[in-house]
Amino acid sequence: MELNLDCIPCLQRQALKAIREVSDDPELQEQILREVINTLIETDWHKTPPELAHKIHKIVRDKTGGIDPYKKLKKESNDIVLEIYPELKAMVKRSENPINSAIKLSIAGNIMDFGALDDFNIHETIDQVMAQEIDKENYTLFLSKLNSAKTILLFADNAGEIVFDKLLIETLLSGKDFDKIYYAVKGGPVLNDATINDAKYAGIDKIKNLVFLETSNGDPKTGPVRNSPEVESWINSHDIVISKGQGNYEGLSQFGGIFYMLMVKCHIVAGDLGTDVGSVVLKYK
C-alpha cells in the first residue's frame, strides 16, 4: 500500500510522541522533530507508510542514544493481557465456535496500537468485537485452508496484542498439529511493535513447533523489509499466512495469499479495504 499525503502529518505525530516518551527537554524535542520533518521532505514518498515510519523512528532512537521509547509501555501492554489471559482462554473454551472466537479476540487485541491511537480500552474493545460478526466467506475460506495446512506464517503486530495471537495459535493447535508455525516479529524496536524479547515474555516461544522470523525495523541488520522478495518467498512457501494489524497490511498488501486480521483505525486503510474506520476485518487477498 503506497503512502497517502495524510500519512505525513501522522508520521510527524508519531515521532513527536516517541520523542516525548524519551525526553522532556523541549530543545531536544524540537531538534529531533526538525530532523524528522527534513527527512520526510527529502525522502521519496512513493513508498509504503511503514518504510517511512521506520526511517523516522530510527532518527528518534539514534538521537536519544538508542533508547526504545516504548519499552515500558510494551511490557505494561503484555502484562495487561497476560493478567486476563485465563479469562480469555476460558471464553474460547466455552465457545460454540472456538476458532471464530479466537480470531475475534486476536483482532480485538489489534486496538493496542500506539502508532495509530493515543488511548484505548481493551475490555470495551473485546466486548464490542465479540458482539460483531466476521466475514463469513473469508472465514469459511480460512477453515478450508486450515484443514489441509501443514505450516502457518503469522506476521505479528503489537505488544499486548501478541498475547491474543498466542491464544489464537493455541486454539488452532487444539484441532490439529502443524509441522511448523513461523511467527514474524520486528528485528528491533519500532513503536510498540513486538520483538522476540516481547514475544518470549508473553510465552509464545513455548508453543510447539514455533520458529521466530524477524523483519526490519528500519535497520538493514534487523531483517528484510516487509515488501522485499525475501518476505514474498516466506509468504509463498507457507500454507496459511496471517497478517495482523494496519502496519502489516500497509507493508504486505501488494502480495497475494494472505489473511488480514485487523481493526481499522484510519480512513486511509479503511478506503483501501473498502470499509469504515472501526471495522473488524478478516479478509483474504
Residue 1: the pLDDT is 84
Q: What are phi and psi of 29, to 5 degrees?
A: -60, -45
Residue-level pLDDT at 114: 66
pLDDT value at position 219? 85
pLDDT of residue 199: 98
Domain boundaries, the chain: 7-63, 71-284
Residue-level pLDDT at 119: 66
User: pTM for the full model?
Assistant: 0.92
Q: What is the pLDDT of residue 26?
A: 92
Please state at what angle helix 161-175 crosses helix 98-108, rounded to 10 degrees.
170
Q: Which regions of the chain are under pLDDT 70?
A: 114-119
Rounded to whole angstroms, the Cα distance separating 30 from 27 reads 5
Query: What was the pLDDT predicted at 117?
Result: 54
- Taking the C-alpha atoms of residue 87 and residue 89, their distance in angstroms, rounded to an integer, is 5
Confidence at residue 247, expressed as pLDDT on a 0 to 100 scale: 92
Residue 275's pLDDT is what?
93
Amino acid letter, 188: G
User: Which residue, 99, 173, 184, is CA-closest to 142?
Assistant: 99
CA 140-162-159 angle, 5° bins:
140
pLDDT at 105: 97
Instruction: From 39, 170, 147, 157, select the one nearest 108 (Cα to Cα).
Output: 157
Rg (CA), the chain: 18
The CATH number that domain 71-284 falls under is: 3.40.50.10880
Q: For residue 116, what pLDDT is reported?
A: 60
